[in-house]
């Protein structure tokens, strides 16, 4: 692996871990908002995205040859979660933070998948 | 969801769980074979495939909208693991069983991903 | 490993996978119930229990020496999830099914942990 | 949650993620060492410990009430992995790094479990 590739993998890994944390936090917080009924899609997508980020991070950590394919799935997952969180970003700080983490992770995962 | 779709998701889920189990078993058994040095690629791919199958199974169980994307990753993972296990299938029963489970899972995941 | 131990591990593994599936299904269904606000604890515990069951199942599949410790965690997790699901079992079939799967898994995990 | 508790959970989470990464790296590196046959136990324990750390980190991120029980499992897992890695720490930098990360994670997980 070249030094450039190693650096890109490290940045992608860091973004996956930040996104995982933001998604877990957002799902837990949404569930206890008074208007939980309006946040169902957000909770579902947060959870899916957290689990996809966790797997992608583990594959990146171990240098798996599957990492580009996993990054493609992760980019799709982050894009969907971000689009939903952005709808609630003006009302909930946890959604705003999650949307940002998802967009950052999506961009780096798309690079790795290419 | 139509009854046909529900049945196909159930069959795919069952195949993912069988493949997960076969991969975990094959990885553990390969590691204790006398010629472990010749089974490095098999151990790596078994582990990756097990983890991808586990995530895909969980997404199918919860009816996640990401399941077609996850099934695409799972099909790729199963195909690579099967190709490696098939090289050792004449010498190791655990590799033969794992290759079969991977091929069955690959086929059903490709259907779901389409 | 004796034949008796292998059979007990297999039964415990099957119970973990059934519980995982019931928890994933219950969490997804609770989230779309009209009275989702009354099911917050159930959704949280379902999710935690699903993830603990998934790890325990993988450790059992690979014959990990950590499996008794993981089974102890799994028994605790199943007991808490069952206690919550039982509160809703008369109103929601998915909670009733989940409570049963959790109790069955709890019992077998306690045996393995002992 | 008090500020002190939140800080302790954050430190424990960081330690789990560092340990996860060190275990994944050590397992991947051990598998490609010339004397892989002497590193079987290390590879097995690295993998188990990585998976336990990943679950524990996710439960901490979501503030799960199961986190003390998960931290207890994680402390046991880290202790076993560290004890094995320490045997190889003079020959392999990845084992030395992993042993250190495991010991740090073990200590913080024991605090959380208490």
Residue of A24, A26, A27 for testing the chain D interface, max D β-carbons within 10 Å: A24
- For residue D2, the model assigns a pLDDT of 80
Residues 38-97 of A with CB under 8 A from D: 50, 54, 58, 61-63
Q: D25 contacts in A (CB within 8 Å)?
A: 61-62
**pLDDT tens digits, residue range B4-33?**
889 999 999 999 999 999 999 999 999 999
Distance CA B85, CA B79 (A): 10
Query: Does residue B80 surpass a pLDDT of 90?
Result: yes
CB neighbours of residue C41 within 10 Å = 18
Residue of A23, A45, A48, A77 for testing the chain B interface, max B β-carbons within 10 Å: A48
Contact B32 D43 (CB under 8 A): no
| Contacts A–C by Cβ distance under 8 A | 18
- On whether any CB of chain A is under 8 Å from the CB of C35, the answer is no
Question: Residue C56 corresponds to which tokens in the numbers above?
Answer: 């325990």
Question: Residue C32 corresponds to which tokens in the numbers above?
Answer: 């779309």
Residue with tokens 């993912």: B16
Mean pLDDT on A26-50: 97
Contacts of B among chains (3+ CB pairs under 8 A): A, C, D
Instruction: Report angle CA D61, C50, C31 to the nearest 5 degrees.
Output: 80
Q: What are the angstrom distances between the C-alpha of B39 and each of A20, D7, D55?
A: 33, 44, 28
**pLDDT tens digits, residue range A73-105?**
999 999 999 999 999 999 999 999 999 999 999
Residue of D16, D55, D56, D84 for testing the chain C interface, max C β-carbons within 10 Å: D55
Identify the closest residue of chain C to B58 by CA–CA distance.
C24
Contact D43 B31 (CB under 8 A): yes
Please name the member of B44, B51, B59 whose beta carbon is closest to the beta carbon of A58. Answer: B51
- For residue C114, the model assigns a pLDDT of 87
Give one word for A45, left, alpha or beta, with left for phi > 0 and alpha for psi -120 to 50: alpha
Identify the closest residue of chain D to B47 by CA–CA distance.
D47
Contact C37 A37 (CB under 8 A): yes
- For residue D114, the model assigns a pLDDT of 87
- For residue B7, the model assigns a pLDDT of 94
CB neighbours of residue B89 within 10 Å = 16
DSSP 8-state code for residue B39: G
What share of chain B in percent tops pLDDT 90? 94
- Closest among C40, C30, C46 to C80, alpha carbons compared: C46
The residue extents of the domains of chain D are 3-113
pLDDT-based confidence at B111, cuts 50/70/90? Answer: very high
Contact C25 B62 (CB under 8 A): yes
Contact D28 B44 (CB under 8 A): yes
- For residue D3, the model assigns a pLDDT of 84
pLDDT-based confidence at B61, cuts 50/70/90? Answer: very high
pLDDT-based confidence at D87, cuts 50/70/90? Answer: very high
**pLDDT tens digits, residue range A45-75?**
999 999 999 999 999 999 999 999 999 999 9
Contact A55 B52 (CB under 8 A): yes
Q: What are the angstrom distances between the C-alpha of A31 and each of A18, A34, B105, C28?
A: 20, 8, 35, 13
- For residue C1, the model assigns a pLDDT of 64
Element (H, E) at D46: helix D40-61
Identify the closest residue of chain D to A30 by CA–CA distance.
D62
Q: A36 contacts in C (CB within 8 Å)?
A: 36-37, 40
Residues in chain C predicted with pLDDT less than 50, given as ranges, are none
Contact A27 D62 (CB under 8 A): yes
- For residue B14, the model assigns a pLDDT of 98
Distance CA B52, CA B30 (A): 19
Contact D37 B40 (CB under 8 A): no
- For residue D1, the model assigns a pLDDT of 64
Mean pLDDT on D6-20: 97
- For residue B1, the model assigns a pLDDT of 64
Distance CA D30, CA A16 (A): 25
- Closest among A34, A29, A112 to A71, alpha carbons compared: A112
- For residue A114, the model assigns a pLDDT of 87
Nearest chain C Cα distance for residue D70, angstroms: 6
Contact A31 C44 (CB under 8 A): yes
Contact B44 D36 (CB under 8 A): no
Higher pLDDT, A3 or C63: C63
Q: CATH code for D3-113?
A: 1.20.1270.360
């Amino acid at each position: 692996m070249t030094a450039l590739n190693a650096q890109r993998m490290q940045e992608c890994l860091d973004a996956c871990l930040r996104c995982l944390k933001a998604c877990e936090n957002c799902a837990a917080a949404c569930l206890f908002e008074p208007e939980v009924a309006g946040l169902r899609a957000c909770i579902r997508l947060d959870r899916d995205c957290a689990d996809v980020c966790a797997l992608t991070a583990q594959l990146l950590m171990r240098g798996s040859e599957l990492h580009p394919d996993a990054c493609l799935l992760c980019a799709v997952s982050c894009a969907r979660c971000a689009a939903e969180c952005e709808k609630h970003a003006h009302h909930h700080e946890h959604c705003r933070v999650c949307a940002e983490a998802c967009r950052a992770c999506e961009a780096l995962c798309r690079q790795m998948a290419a």
